[in-house]
Amino acid sequence: SCSLSPGTRFGRDVVVAPQTHFRGANSIGEGCRIGPSALIEDSQLEADVEVTFSVVRQARLARGSTVGPFAHLRPGAVLGEHCKVGNFVEVKNSRLGSDVKASHLSYLGDAQLGRGVNVGAGTITANFDGTGKHPTTIGEGSSIGANAVLVAPVTLGRDVTVAAGSTITKDVTDDALAIARCRQVEKKAWRKPADPPSGAAAVNPPKQGSAGLAGGE
C-alpha cells in the first residue's frame, strides 16, 4: 500500500511503486519513478528522478538524479542534475553539483561538491569536532579514494585525487595527489611464532618492573 499527503503534487507519467509514502508538501516532476519502499517528505524532485528503498527529507533533487537503494537524504541535501547517491550513502546539508557520484557506503555532511566529483566507497566527511559542525569543499572533477576521511574544515581544489585510505586534515591545491597514510611494509620470509609446547602457558606474565603489557613499577 501507499500513502499520499494532500500537499504532494505529481507531474505526468510518474510511477509510484508499492510501500511508498509521501508526507508534507512535495513536488514530484514528470517521469519520476518512486519506490518501492521509499519515503518522501517536504522535498522537491525534478523530472526523471528515481528513488528506490530510500528516505528523502527536506531535499531537492535535480533532473535525472538517482537515489538508492538504502540511501538517506537528510534536510538540506541538494543534488544537481544526473547525480547518483547509492547504497548506504547519507547526505546531510550538502550540495552536490551535476554528475557527482557517491555510489557506496559514504557520509557527506555540510559539504560542497563540484561538478563531476567521484566519491569512493567508505568516504567520510568528518564534520563534527565535538562542539561544532564544519564544512568540506571539494572542487569539480576531483576523485576521492575508498575509505578516505576528510576532516573538516578542509578545502580540496579542482581535479584533486585523494589516495585510498587517506585521512586529509589540510587543504589540497588544484591538480594535486594527496596521500595521507603509512607506507606498506613487507617482511620477507616471515615465519609465524611457533606454538608453545603442550601444557606450557600460552602467555608468560611479565617480570615485575618490566615494560610489558601489565606495566612496571
pLDDT per residue as tens digits for the range 111-143: 999 999 999 999 999 999 999 999 999 999 999
C-alpha grid cell for residue 176? 594535486
pLDDT (average), residues 95-109: 99
Model pTM score: 0.86
Give pLDDT, residue 206.
Answer: 54
Amino acid identity, residue 119? V
pLDDT tens per residue, range 25-57: 999 999 999 999 999 999 999 999 999 999 999
pLDDT (average), residues 160-173: 98
Q: Give yes or no for residue 207 having a pLDDT over 60.
A: no
**91-94, long-range: CB < 8 A, 24+ apart:** 91/59, 94/125
Say if residue 43 is exposed, middle or buried (CB neighbours under 10 Å; 0-12, 13-18, 19+).
buried
Give pLDDT, residue 154.
Answer: 99
Q: Give yes or no for residue 179 having a pLDDT over 50.
A: yes
**Measured distance CA(71)–CA(80) in Å, rounded:** 16
Second CATH level (architecture) for the domain 1-92: 3 Solenoid (2.160)
Quote the radius of gyration of the chain (alpha carbons, Å). 24
What is the enclosing helix (H) or strand (E) of 125? Answer: strand 124-126
Residue of 21, 72, 82, 104 with catalytic role: 104
Q: Give yes or no for residue 196 having a pLDDT over 50.
A: yes
C-alpha to C-alpha distances, 40 to 94, 122, 214, nearest whole angstrom:
18, 25, 55
Q: Where are the domains of the chain?
A: 1-92, 93-182
Give pLDDT, residue 208.
Answer: 52
Give pLDDT, residue 92.
Answer: 99
**Measured distance CA(81)–CA(83) in Å, rounded:** 6
Check for a shared fold between 1-92 and 93-182.
Answer: yes
Task: Reply yes or no on whether 104 is catalytic.
Answer: yes
* Cell 557506496, located at residue: 104
pLDDT tens per residue, range 58-101: 999 999 999 999 999 999 999 999 999 999 999 999 999 999 99
**Measured distance CA(96)–CA(185) in Å, rounded:** 38
| Assigned CATH for 93-182 | 2.160.10.10
Residue 151 CB neighbours (<10 A): 17
CB 38 within 8 A of CB 22: no
